[in-house]
Amino acid sequence: MKGGIYSILKAKFLINDDAAKNWQFIIFLIVLALIMIANSHNYEQKTYQITELDKEVKELRSEFVDRRSELMKLKMESTISAKMEEKMIFPSSVPPKKIKVLKEKEKGFFEKLWQ
């Protein structure tokens, strides 16, 4: 057992006759480690992007709600009449009357009634 640990610490397995197999395995492990590191880095980067996009979506949603409520206030009749009063345009005190446009046949019928 002592000789096995001592040979591993001296790295004799890398300079023996069958060292090519060991080197291939070590290179394979290094490539796997690099792939794993790159994959975890890519995963973390995408996680940060998702977090940032979620924050942006929340901000845009709250801005949308604010703008929509502001628009609702601006569309109210009281707000519009107040803005028009600044320009010296006042609402009418007489309610509007409905005008009905008659077809040609109906015009003739009503003209006969008036005569």
pLDDT by residue for the chain (115 residues), tens only, comes to 566 777 767 777 677 777 777 788 889 999 999 999 999 999 999 999 999 999 999 999 999 999 999 999 999 988 888 888 888 888 888 888 888 877 666 556 666 666 5
Q: Which residue has the tokens 């009749």?
A: 77
Residue 19's Cβ-count burial label (10 Å; 0-12, 13-18, 19+) is middle
User: Nearest-CA neighbor of 26 among 41, 40, 38, 11?
Assistant: 11
Q: 11: alpha, beta or left, given left = phi > 0 and alpha = psi -120 to 50?
A: left
Please tell me the pTM assigned to this model: 0.51
pLDDT of residue 107: 58
Residue 22's Cβ-count burial label (10 Å; 0-12, 13-18, 19+) is middle
